[in-house]
Amino acid sequence: MLGLDLSRQAAKFLGALATKHAKQIAGKIVSLRENPEPPDSVALKGKASEYRRTDIGEYRIIYRVESDTLRVFIIGKRNDDEVYRLLQRKL
């Protein structure tokens, strides 16, 4: 199983969610640690090609695998392009 590294932004977003939603996202992150490239994940394109995205309910998780660590960079609303704007600022 991969180690886990949550960005400060992702941890803050997760901490502000209702318990039900936070548990759903946490469950998805645990499953990503076991299989970081499930069939429902998509590799991003362009400058962000080293990142992947996956959805859980109404939320989107942007992450990548570095050596033996799953690094979760951004968690945000799925129908909101803010997730991608935040990622572009980090690149």
Tell me how far apart the alpha carbons of residues 87 and 91 are, in angstroms, rounded to a whole number.
Answer: 6
The pLDDT assigned to 78 comes to 85
Q: Which two tokens stand for residue 16?
A: 């502000």
Q: What is the CATH classification number for the domain harbouring 46?
A: 3.30.2310.20
Paired residues of 43 in beta bridges: 52
**H or E stretch covering 68:** none
The pLDDT assigned to 79 comes to 81
The pLDDT assigned to 81 comes to 83
Q: Which residue is it, tokens 């932004």?
A: 9
Cβ contact 4:29 at 8 Å? yes
The pLDDT assigned to 65 comes to 96
Range of the domain at 76: 3-90
**Regions in the chain scoring below 50 on pLDDT:** none
- pTM comes to 0.92
Q: How many domains does the chain have?
A: 1
The pLDDT assigned to 90 comes to 82
